[in-house]
Amino acid sequence: MSLSNRYEFVFLFDVTDGNPNGDPDVGNAPRIDPETGHGLVTDVCLKRKVRDYVTLLKGDEPPYSIYVKQKEVLNQLNELAYKAFDIKPEKKKLPKNVDEAKRLTQWMCQNFYDIRTFGQVMTTEVNCGEVYGPVQMKFSRSIDPITDIEHTITRMAVTNEKDMEKGQTMGRKHTIPYALYRCHGYVVASNAEKSGFDESDLELFFTALENLFEHDRSATRGEMSVCGLYVFKHSSPLGNAPAKKLFNTIQVKPVAQDTFPRQFNDYQVTVDQSAVPEGVELIIRYEEA
């Protein structure tokens, strides 16, 4: 059964002495808004972690298989849908029979969790159509401007024999001393109906957000933690209030001015329950004390 409610959510997470999302175009430095200095984390980065958690929890088997993953050939995955209905693919084209084309797209949604959750463009050489996913996430933005510190690091080994005299290899590493990030997300009920995304899929998604960094540790990313997950549930599929009005009921501000925050407790999260409109329920799924 598809969703009968619209949702929005606010997701808070932080990083200590790490790089949450490096930009390969600038030497893997932390992503930054060049005008304000605020840090950015892409939606793609967070979706990758959701996909990885779902695989750990459910295994890479239908209906929780993951479509976008490392070293996967997407055309081969698309061919699975054609084989399921004994249809011969035509290069870059969907079947002319509308019902056959719909069945192919629906089969992909039913078998791949990330397709029915986030959507996917599957118009490759083996065409399975397009899906507009019900779960959409914005770029995350840090509450304050970030400080990118570039460190020189050494490795007591060399790559090539010609470098033996050097005795070691030099490298660079970027870290942020501390930053708290805020992400806004949306769950569109009408898109859920089309992709087959249901209440159990939604619960799995929120569970993944709550545990996003617990199984995704690396020295590069430092210490990353979930700090808050606030979910707005509308009483109708079309919604009962503008998303921006709901997001404004949650304010995150530094406890003291003219200081450098170094932990989550250096911020104060204020939730104005009285400002939540009628027909909308605020569910606090996670809140760091």
pLDDT tens-digit readout, 85-111: 999 999 999 999 999 999 999 999 999
* pLDDT confidence of residue 193: 93
Name the phi and psi angles at 158, rounded to 5.
-120, 160
Q: Report, in angstroms and rounded to the nearest whole number, the Rg of the chain calculated over CA atoms.
A: 22
Specify the pairing of strand 7-18 against strand 250-254. Answer: unpaired
pLDDT at 233: 98
* Whether residue 271 has pLDDT greater than 70: yes
Whole-number average pLDDT of the chain = 95
**How far, in Å, CA of 68 to CA of 48, rounded?**
8
Nearest Cα neighbor of 181 from 240, 224, 241, 232 is 224
Give the pLDDT confidence score for residue 223 in this predicted structure: 97
Alpha-carbon distance 83 to 68, whole Å? 20
Query: Is residue 71's pLDDT more than 60?
Result: yes
* Residues linked to residue 176 through DSSP beta bridges, in sequence order: 18
Per-residue pLDDT at 155: 76
What Å distances lie between residue 72 and 60, 78, 224, CA to CA? Answer: 12, 11, 28
Contacts of residue 137, defined as CB under 8 A and 6 or more positions apart, other chains included, come to 43, 46, 47, 183, 184, 185, 186
The pLDDT score that the predictor gives to residue 167 is 67
Cα–Cα distance, 22 to 28 (Å, whole number) = 4
Write down the pLDDT at residue 124.
94
Whether 234 has a pLDDT exceeding 70, the answer reads yes
**% pLDDT > 70, the chain:** 99
Burial class of 112 by CB neighbour count within 10 A (0 to 12, 13 to 18, 19+): buried
- DSSP codes of every residue in 132-164: E-SEEEPPEEEEEE---EEEEEEESS-SSGGGG
For 180, half-sphere exposure in the C-beta direction (CA atoms, 13 angstrom radius) is 22
Distance of CA 57 to the CA centre of its chain: 17
- Rounded Cα distance, 178 and 147, in Å: 8
